[in-house]
Structure 1
Amino acid sequence: MFNQKKKKQHYVWRRYLKSWLVGGKLACMRDKKHVFSTKDLMNVGQQSYFYKVNSLTEQDVNYVRDLFLSNVGESTNAIFDRLFSLFLQVEHVEKLPSDGNHVGIENLKKHYANNLEEEIQSDIESQGEPCLTRLLVGDTSLFENEKSAAHFLNYICMQYLRTKKQHDALVSGAIGKNSEQIIKCANLIRIVFSSKLAANLYANRSDYKLVVAKNNSDIPFITCDQPVVNFLDTRLDSSEETKEFGLYYPISPNLAVFLVKNEIFGSVKEMSFDQLSVEEFNQITLNASYEQVYSSSEKQLRDLASKIKT
């Protein structure tokens, strides 16, 4: 866990991207113009030391608690106490006495801040893996089981909020007297925000459903470095709030999943997408992308890049 420093830290899960591999290669488009294929998933959807956390004080943690948890009960606050304690340990670990002879302590001192959130993200991915496996065969019944529904919601909310795009938006949008504290606490904020969103969705899950969209066209679904998109958010100004919420998550070139209110798409839980529908949602994915777009087809990305230029 903390034996070595983890440098390349992914905000797009490599296991997820494997569904787009053809001949062991993933087609990529960088900055909406540079198209290439790669066998090395270690170098896409990642940034060096992306999850490294800052040393936080009790004041920092209480700020995040007040920001997100002021309206929740004691039992919910208690659930977050362990998370807060892990972040508060950063300063404590750095100050641990060591004579250099205890390898375990030395590794902890060197790697705790760097690896902490990486380990949290790995745990969430472990929860999501069986859910993703079932969804890839079109099985949405996981949402009917309390445990698997909780795991899926925890997973998809984190895939929505942990990206570089979301991180940079949080940091660049931090203004006012608390801006420095927001930037300092960015790692903790995304975890608490994601967990609370997942908890709220879980509490109201009877109002929601999973819908699978099957691609019946010759054009693959694409994905990107913002793999989960609120497709009902049509704001032109991102600084405005939106009350519309529905998540779109392409999971392979042939399948996509929606998490939506029960009234969206009528009573259906499975849809067939023709070419027009696939192109529409591929455009949503393209618009949501930050630095990278992924596909099973390099030609598809070259065609998209040429359309962007014109």
Structure 2
Amino acid sequence: MKKRRHHYVWRNYLRSWSDNEQIWCARNKKVFPTNLMNIGQERDFYRLNELTKQEISFLTLLINQHTSEAIQKLNHGWVELFTAVFKIREQVNNHGLSDDEFEAEVEKQIINLGEDFHCGIEEGAIKFLDGLLDSGTNFLADEDNAIEFIHYLCVQYFRTKKMKESAASSVSQLGLIDMDKAWNILSHTFSTALAWSIYAERSQWSSVILENHTPSPFLTSDQPIINTYAAFDKQVKDHDELEFYYPLSPEKALLLTKKAEYKGMSSKSLNELEASAYNDIMIDMSHEQIYSFQKEQLEMYAQKI
């Protein structure tokens, strides 16, 4: 079966803000309740596209810029994975063996593969969400889970519509590649490279649970993981200008940071001013939608979108 609704925000993640699968959403300055199935998704968002030889050559050149041969190999694997179905179809057609059943299966794989892959990552990440929410587990210090945890965060950061459109805007004038066609591959190569960078420097990073028991609960959005350094149109230029903020529920959020003030800290209780500041950053970094479990809270913020 073809899966046409492709979610770029994980539904299971959003359940912390929902009641019986219903969540409050603000979009285009309007506040409304909706089912989790209807938000953070777009028809065929992860549909694969056949790339030209020139586009594949550009991806190869880009991947080979990384200093680690291991990361180069992993990222070439993404190219192979997401172009394989087109190579198989070409070979079958060249031998005159194609039929309607084969073409239907190819089309199903073109539509489903990207979405199915994200579903697999999400299933593996349930333990991370549960651990962070229940006990604030420091997966960064857990050798058995650290790389998978960091990779999950980076995938959630890059997989969204906002990141796709931002990347497309930045390269559109160069004419080197059609970002809409290549994003399925590029988002994974970016995620892999960034995850490796964080993992290699993990001793410098702190994983901090932010506790919010104020009258201003945490919001989330269709860009649920954000780099706080990039808020309010700030241009990020330095390697160390990265700090992940990831709200986990109305009462808890994850801060992944290199800032010295958080070294050795596992949790921090916020005051209302601090909680509101994080909400302001989340709204600024959202794309089209923000989410809350409170209608009144969204009505207060809706005009800022």
Q: Deviations over 1:246-296 (max 9, x none)?
A: 000000001000011151435322100121111111111111111100001
Q: 2:212 aligns with which of 190, 212, 215?
A: 215
Q: Deviations over 1:138-175 (max 9, x none)?
A: 32332212231111111111111111111111112223
CA drift of 1:181 comes to: 4.1
Paired letter, 1:211: V
**Contact 1:6–1:115 under 8 Å retained in 2:** yes
The question of 1:68 aligning with 2:63 is answered yes
Corresponding residue of 2:121: 124
Corresponding residue of 2:33: 37
Q: 2:273 aligns with which of 268, 272, 276?
A: 276
Change (3 A) 1:180 1:60: closer
Change (3 A) 1:264 1:115: farther
Q: Give runs of aligned pairs for residues 120-269 of structure 1, distance below 5 A.
A: 120-234=117-231, 236=233, 238=235, 241-243=237-239, 244-261=241-258, 263-269=260-266
Corresponding residue of 2:287: 290
SS at match of 1:5: coil
Q: Deviations over 1:96-129 (max 9, x none)?
A: 33333xx5x3443121221221122122212322
**Contact 1:246–1:260 under 8 Å retained in 2:** yes
**Contact 2:23–2:293 under 8 Å retained in 1:** yes
Corresponding residue of 1:82: 77
Q: Deviations over 1:194-226 (max 9, x none)?
A: 111011111111111210011121221100001
SS at match of 1:271: strand
- Stretches of structure 2 that go unaligned for 5 or more consecutive residues are none
Change (3 A) 1:73 1:275: closer
Higher helix share: 2
**Contact 2:71–2:193 under 8 Å retained in 1:** no
**Contact 2:26–2:32 under 8 Å retained in 1:** yes
Corresponding residue of 1:91: 86
Query: Is the deviation greater in 91-100 or in 120-129?
Result: 91-100
**Contact 1:56–1:90 under 8 Å retained in 2:** no
Corresponding residue of 1:50: 45
Question: In the aligned structure 2, how far is the partner of 1:264 from the partner of 1:117?
Answer: 39
After TM superposition, the score normalised by the length of structure 1 is 0.89
Query: Is the deviation greater in 262-271 or in 147-156?
Result: 262-271
SS at match of 1:256: strand
Paired letter, 2:292: S
Question: In the aligned structure 2, how far is the partner of 1:30 from the partner of 1:161?
Answer: 21
**Contact 1:56–1:87 under 8 Å retained in 2:** no
CA drift of 1:90 comes to: 3.1
Change (3 A) 1:200 1:117: same
Paired letter, 1:87: F
Change (3 A) 1:189 1:24: closer
SS at match of 1:249: strand
Paired letter, 2:109: Y
Percent sequence identity over matched residues? 32
**Contact 1:224–1:294 under 8 Å retained in 2:** yes
Question: In the aligned structure 2, how far is the partner of 1:23 from the partner of 1:187?
Answer: 32
SS at match of 1:37: strand
CA drift of 1:56 comes to: 2.1
Question: In the aligned structure 2, how far is the partner of 1:118 from the partner of 1:10?
Answer: 8
SS at match of 1:147: coil
Change (3 A) 1:252 1:52: same
CA drift of 1:45 comes to: 0.2
SS at match of 1:51: coil
